Amino acid sequence: MPLKIHCFQQAPFEDPGYIKDWIDKKGHSLSYTRFYKDFELPSIYDYDCLVIMGGPMGVSDEDKYPWLADEKKAIKEAIENNKKVLGICLGSQLIASVLGARVYKNPETEIGWFDVSLTEEGHKEDLLDSFPSTFKVFQWHGDTFELPEGARHLASSEVCKNQAFIYKENVVGLQFHFEVTHDSLEQMLDGADDELRDAPFIQSKDDIQKNSHYINETNQKMHLILDRIIK
């Protein structure tokens, strides 16, 4: 049966990418709240699943982005009403914050293609069944989060412990970008290229583009996760 999926988009250059491709393939519908424009939040009865995208702002930047307060309330309402909720990058941090966990500056900013490894819990998790122990992901974040109480810790990287979690069976947070496509990658590189400074875990634009062959592999993993949580 077709499902109604709603997307919270924080910035024009961070769209749902492959998630939209998957939605189209499955025959589901997709609606948006674009917070960088005039926006209206949906009723909790208007959707079955909520997807929360990334953005350049931080969870606590409500002075600069006052809509963050409304967004957090909407995310909390979705979780309390047992909606299926998927958060990407900032989206995962917003979920963690709503669930009472601390969000803070990561020791290193990660931008580029890096390895992520499954935790012991991640190896046992049905959501990640058939995933290898270590795999490449696209990263673009400076903040991280503590694991929310009751959540299962699924993945970590060399410089960021909490890369993925699942809360109950319907709420998933991914710090990394399985959804990135060739087009959305270029949008991110153009939209936030000022962040590509010289640092140990920030790759150059050229290196990021040279490694874009990982996109097909990461999209396949995004496909599997979506199949398993949105059904």
Residues annotated as catalytic (active site), given as ranges: 89, 177, 179
Residues 105, 14: Cα–Cα separation, whole Å: 21
What is the distance, to the nearest Å, from the Cα of residue 104 to the centroid of all Cα atoms in its chain?
16
> Which residues face 105 on adjacent strands?
143
Residue burial 214-223, b: 16+ Cβ < 10 Å; e: rest: ebeebbebbb
- What tokens were used for 23? 């939605």
Beta-carbon count within 10 A of 81 CB: 11
**146: CB partners within 8 A, 6+ apart:** 96, 101, 102, 103, 104, 162
| Residue that the structure tokens 């396949």 belong to | 220
- Specify whether the CB–CB gap between 13 and 54 falls below 8 A: no
Residues 47, 83: Cα–Cα separation, whole Å: 8
CA distance readout (Å), 76 to 43, 116, 226: 13, 28, 21
